[in-house]
């Protein structure tokens, strides 16, 4: 038996979340969409970013999503000489 809720299952998308501490707050950023949020803790900043992304996907027109969505994002580190 197929349940009715299967038709309404939401598509999941894996996005990048970058979090950094700024003074007494944590700032979270999704670079694929240039959406940011903040919170008092890392967990709160991440939860607030998830909420902001969810609201964006619920309210944005598909053309806006396509226009803002960056392709692949590569997160790595680099080593440079300083001084």
| 8-41 per-position pLDDT tens digit | 667 899 999 999 999 999 999 999 999 999 999 9
Q: What is the mean pLDDT of the chain?
A: 91
Q: What is the pTM of this model?
A: 0.81
* CA distances, 31 to each of 6, 8, 10, 75, 78 (Å): 31, 28, 22, 10, 18
Determine, yes or no, domain membership for 1: no
Determine, yes or no, domain membership for 26: yes
Determine, yes or no, domain membership for 40: yes
Determine, yes or no, domain membership for 76: no
Count of the separate structural domains present in the chain = 1
State which residues form the domain around 29: 20-68
């Amino acid at each position: 038996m197929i349940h009715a809720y299967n038709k309404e299952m939401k598509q999941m998308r894996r996005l990048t979340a970058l979090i950094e501490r700024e003074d007494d707050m944590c700032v979270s950023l999704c670079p694929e969409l240039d959406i940011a949020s903040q919170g008092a803790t890392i967990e709160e900043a991440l939860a607030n970013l998830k909420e902001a992304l969810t609201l964006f996907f619920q309210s944005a027109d598909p053309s806006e999503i396509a226009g803002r969505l960056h392709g692949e994002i590569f997160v790595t580190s680099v080593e440079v000489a300083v001084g």
